[in-house]
Amino acid sequence: MYARSLAWLTVLAAVICGISNIISLVLIDFVHGNPHRTQENAFEMIIIFTPLRGLIAAIGTAIVFALPQCFQAIVGARRFGGHAQGAVLLALPMTAVITWYSYDYLTPFDVNLAIHVGPGWQLYQHGITTARYLAALACQTLATLFSVAYVGTTGRHLPRKAVVLVALAAAVLAGGLAGYLQAEAQYQFL
């Protein structure tokens, strides 16, 4: 069940990135009127980059959340009985450390394409900080709540489809908000 919830997490991440790409491009190029790009080019970018960004997000989500999901599956094993989901929630601070580790060390940050951003630019430095831990905890909390709800439907008479549909609706809203914020940040450059 945790593997299935990981698969749904990858779909949710792809939806968030895809929707944010579409909303951002529509707001920048069609609503606000970007003088630096034609609307045909913006439409092509929607068609090409939306699935590409979704695929990259899905792969990144699988890399970052595979180890934490395995850890949660072990913690939530049947030997805890009816308290398995509670044990998963109590283990959330440790799960966030595993999430941080997966993000910090398993994703490719040290790719140098001979492009230096500026005089103060430095390569990414690995290590846990309070801000990085809190970011990992926030992301892992959302993933854990979804997984607990998804896995929790097994013993109860809750429809799994309802959990997935609520999560998809939340992903669409989050993607729309992210796209709006991306567009707002880009308006100053038009």
pLDDT value at residue 87 = 84
pLDDT at 30: 87
CB atoms within 10 A of CB 42: 16
Question: What are the sequence ranges of the domains in the chain?
Answer: 2-106+127-189
Bigger pLDDT: 72 or 157?
72
Residue 81 pLDDT > 70, yes or no?
no
Share of the chain above pLDDT 90, in %: 54
What are the percentages of helix, strand and coil residues in the chain, rounded to 5? 80, 0, 20
CA proximity to 49, closest of 68, 29, 35: 29
Q: Tell me the whole-structure pTM to 2 decimals.
A: 0.83
Indicate the pLDDT class of residue 188, thresholds 50, 70 and 90: confident
